[in-house]
Structure 1
């Protein structure tokens, strides 16, 4: 799967992720701050993603082998205050938040059905 980062500002880093079915979800991450833990998005690269049971978020995907980072998840949330470096998914977004985050996470989880996948993160800022 591919996550394309499209815009970044003090409100966060916004992008789109395409599911295998072709469905497009919006994404929100923290702004880039040199990959610092809990205040930055992760570097653009290709990562392995596997299903985990998070004590806080339940059954979600974890982005593995992120340099100098750990416990990076793909989970529901609407604003950057809902993440400490994870990738949030939504059905749509405006310039400061996501909408329909739980619905988007359910779509992602149902479509992937626990199967591991590679996530390619690229940046094409407008």
Structure 2
């Protein structure tokens, strides 16, 4: 199973669209791009393996494995990237602004359900992160 996350970078945060086989799953919010700096930047673009994980703080969520120069990058519920994330990715059902959204827990449950189906089939779960280059070029002109 391979999810595609297409990002749009803004100075105040990063918004994305998560799809599976071309079908919309949810939106995402992240910190702005700050050269992959720990705790203040979203992670670099690339392909990553996802693994279900449990913690007391976030309950059931996903871990993004083998992120260059980073550790403990998670996909967990949050509605405000600047206030609640330290480099992680938060799924949301609706975007409300740059780096903000609503119904994150609902979006996470939808994502986890898809991942559990893949695990039952013994499929690897991959996340391919890229950006909307057209939107980026519009911003810097």
TM-score normalised according to structure 2 size: 0.82
What residue is the counterpart of 1:79 in the other structure? Answer: 80
Listed as ranges, the gaps of 5+ residues in structure 2 are 136-141
- The answer to whether the aligner puts 1:120 opposite 2:122 as a matched pair is no
| 8 A Cα contact 1:30 1:85, kept in partner | yes
User: Over the residues paired in the alignment, what is the CA RMSD in angstroms?
Assistant: 1.6
CA positional deviation for 1:20: 5.2
2:119 paired with 1:111 = no
Cross-structure match for 1:4: 6
Larger radius of gyration: 2
Q: Does the 8 A contact of 1:19 with 1:108 survive in 2?
A: no
Which runs of 4 or more aligned residues in structure 1 lie more than 3 Å from their structure 2 counterparts after TM superposition?
Answer: none
Shift of 1:95: 2.0
Please state if 1:55 is matched with 2:74.
no
Aligned to 1:23: 24
Whether the aligned pair in 1 keeps the contact of 2:8 and 2:16 (CA below 8 Å) is yes
Q: Greater share of helix residues, 1 or 2?
A: 2
Query: What SS does structure 2 have at the residue aligned with 1:107?
Result: helix
In the aligned structure 2, how far is the partner of 1:38 from the partner of 1:27? Answer: 17
- Report the Cα distance in structure 1 between the residues aligned to 2:91 and 2:125, rounded to whole angstroms: 16
The answer (yes or no) to whether the contact 2:9–2:32 under 8 Å persists in 1 is no
How many residue pairs match? The answer is: 125
Q: Which runs of 5+ in 1 are unaligned?
A: none
